[in-house]
Amino acid sequence: MEEIIFEHNAQLFFFIYLLSAFVGVSITVYFFKMYRLFSSSHILGLMIGIALISFSDFFFSSTVISVSQNDSFNIFRWMQLSITSYGFVFLALVYYFQKSNEKKLSIIIKSIFLSLVPIICVLIFIPLSENIGIPSFQQYNEYFRIINMVSIGYILFRTFNTLELKTRKILFLIPLGFTILFLSQFTRFLFAIDPVTLTITLSGIMKIIALTIILFALTRDSKKTKDMELKDG
């Protein structure tokens, strides 16, 4: 069923996920600029995590046209699901280690390897012995979505509890963005259970809105900070 939906709406999904990827890249560029100024392990981790998610969107938009080639499309979807979930888990770990006193490189390396744990667990529990070759991604799609929702849920918890929200009101948009991102993954989870064109389209649009809100909050807050510095100067 999913293959039919992808095949009939390949062009629409191409543009939706390409746009999502571009917004994600814009956030990545923002964090890269911030990292050059502050050289923080937290900022570096955020940059890597968003870059992974953006890459997965680019990867999906560029391979969705291969839906007619069943074997290739199945492999591409497995790769895209793994990269997306890896990116979300990595972001959650970045927030987890935010106040750690460990060295910058140590935190990043630890996050890189720990992020593999849930992905490997899903892959291990796939009954490969019952299938010839790689099993259909539809059978395990929802497990990756659950990983994504748990990761985003933890990020939401951390962003809602930051002290900066009390002094920098514009940052309230960041938890809002992650809330919409969570709903996007929940909608995508529903699509994994009952494939309907509306749900996957809505999921992609919500993801674009979520990332755009986060980008706006980050750049707006950065602009206000610069204006305050100029006034103080």
- Where do we find the tokens 């968003």? 50
Rounded to the nearest 10 degrees, how much is the dihedral formed by the CA atoms of 104, 109, 114, 117?
160
Alpha helices in the chain (DSSP H): 2-8, 10-38, 41-63, 70-96, 104-114, 116-124, 141-160, 164-167, 173-193, 197-232
Q: Would the pLDDT of 26 be above 70? A: yes
- Rg (the chain; Cα; Å): 19
pLDDT at 29: 95
State the greatest distance between any 2 C-alpha atoms of the chain, in Å, as a whole number: 69
Per cent of the chain over pLDDT 90 is 39
Beta carbons of 111 and 93 less than 8 angstroms apart: yes
Looking at CATH, the fold of the domain delimited by 2-226 is given as Rhopdopsin 7-helix transmembrane proteins (1.20.1070)
Give the DSSP letter of residue 126: S
Q: Would the pLDDT of 77 be above 60? A: yes
pLDDT at 121: 82
Report the alpha-carbon distance of residue 47 to residue 49 in Å, rounded: 6
Domain positions in the chain are: 2-226
Which of 227, 219, 176 lies closest to 33 in space, CA to CA?
219
pLDDT tens-digit readout, 84-140: 999 999 999 999 988 777 676 788 888 889 998 888 887 777 655 455 556 677 777
Top pLDDT among 225 and 12 is at 12
